[in-house]
Amino acid sequence: MPIEEIAKKVSDRYARAASTGEQMCCPTSYDFADLRSFIPDEVLKISYGCGTPAGLKTVGPGETVLDIGSGGGIDCFEAARLVGPSGHVIGLDMTDTMLEIAGRNAPIVAANLGYTSSNVEFRKGMADAMPVESDTIDLIISNCVINLAPDKRKVFKEMFRVAKPGGRFTISDIVSDRPVPQYLVHDTGKWGDCLSGALTLSNYMAGMTEAGFFGIHLVKSAPWQVIDGIHFFSVTLTGYKPAPAASPPTVRYATLCGPFSRVIDERGTSFQRGIPQPIGPDTITLLSRPPLVPHFVLSYDPLWLDREDPRWSAVLPAQEPCVWRGDFALLAGPFLEVADDDSHVYRRGEPLEICSKTVTVLAAERYAPHFAIINRAGSAVSGDAASCSPTGSCC
């Protein structure tokens, strides 16, 4: 199906939904009682998405925010409140009906917020060719929209282009646990349902890395639908555009403290827990970002850690037989590959079947933020406890 045809059909679908009040595909959760205090109901009733824009929690006064696929403007208007009258918000959408609704409500929202003029503007355009200046955006948000774009890698490259050095994105989207087959890819109706255009989590995160972003990590995830054995689920991801180093590095080594026994970062550097690894300026920048900071000790001189050191972190499985219940774990960053203390190797975005004991391990505080867990069992599993090794330990 030609890209232009896909875009037109998706746009027509959302325009029709805006006119009829049809409830669209994606799961979302907003505090409508709070938003109704300054956003008109005309906007709230056409708010579609697969997650709330968690990135807005990081917004500061005066920042510039870009919302890709702004629809009726709900996320833009919330951003407008958070950046304050000195900030600026750009909403980008390809559907005229949505832009009309958002545009006529912008001055109403500004008045409700007590602003002398609106700090929000809406522009018509495509996500893969944004009418936005390069290096101008502090935060990019998007809510269940990029899966609708036929060429996601072009979208990721455009995101990287418009972000300021040191800027960031936080986007929610629908991904799948395995490639979407061609019969769904060419089903026009399922494009509008956020199905046909979904990438696997592995390809989604790889596309962002290829575009130049780093520190890409999971904020939250939730299951959505299972279609013909394919699991579609919502993920919210954050990542950063590199910025020039502000000053000469004051550290030369990084020591992994856990809970992983081994990791490979996005630049391909491998770290073994407790063993200092020489690092350069780019890796220092990477490891200084919030999702990685808790896992490393940075030092000027080599620093070894052992099990007696309070900074050493490990989560061991119970030494007992396990039960296989159909659970699969998907690593969602900020590493390309990790290993636990039970010989499991997880590669970013690739489902790995895990037993009941490993489910418990990955639910631990240090592990949980990095994994999405899905269950592929079609019904309740009543399997007996099993042992995965001759010694009786598992897994």
**How many CB atoms within 10 Å of residue 29?**
10
pLDDT digits (tens, 9 = 90+) for 95-150: 999 999 999 999 999 999 999 999 999 999 999 999 999 999 999 999 888 988 88
Percent of the chain with pLDDT over 90: 67
Q: Predicted confidence band at 15 (pLDDT cuts at 50, 70, 90)?
A: very low
- Whether pLDDT at 20 is above 60: no
Name the band, by pLDDT with cuts 50, 70 and 90, for residue 194. low
Pick 92 or 143 by higher pLDDT: 92
Q: What is the structure's pLDDT at 28?
A: 55
pLDDT for position 4 = 55
The predicted structure's pLDDT at residue 195: 73
- 32 vs 344, which has greater pLDDT? 344
- Contacts from 304-312 at CB under 8 Å and sequence distance 24+? 304/255, 304/274, 304/275, 304/276, 305/255, 305/257, 305/273, 305/274, 306/274, 309/257, 309/274, 311/257, 312/257, 312/258, 312/273, 312/274
Q: For residue range 254-303, what is the model confidence (pLDDT) as tens digits?
A: 999 999 999 999 999 999 999 999 998 889 888 988 899 999 999 999 99
Gap between the Cα atoms of 215 and 209, Å rounded: 9
Helical H segments across the chain, by residue range: 3-20, 32-35, 41-44, 74-83, 96-113, 152-162, 182-185, 188-192, 201-211, 281-287, 356-362
State phi, psi for 139 to the nearest 5 degrees: -140, 130
Q: Phi-psi region for residue 135, left (φ > 0), alpha (ψ -120 to 50) or beta?
A: left
List, for residues 325-341, the tens digit of each pLDDT value: 999 999 998 999 999 99
Task: Look at residue 14 in the predicted model and tell me its pLDDT.
Answer: 47
Residue-level pLDDT at 8: 52
Q: What is the CATH number assigned to the segment(s) 3-240?
A: 3.40.50.150
Q: 305 or 7, which is more confident?
A: 305
Cα dihedral 34, 38, 41, 43, rounded to 10, equals -100
Q: How far apart are CA 188 and CA 1, in angstroms?
A: 9
- Give the per-residue pLDDT at 349: 96
Is the entire prediction scored with pTM above 0.85? yes
pLDDT of residue 386: 65
What is the C-alpha to C-alpha distance for residues 355 and 256, in angstroms, rounded to an integer? 26
* Greater pLDDT, 378 or 108: 108
User: What is the b/e burial string over 182-192, where b = at least 16 CB atoms within 10 angstroms of the residue's CB?
Assistant: eebbebeebbb
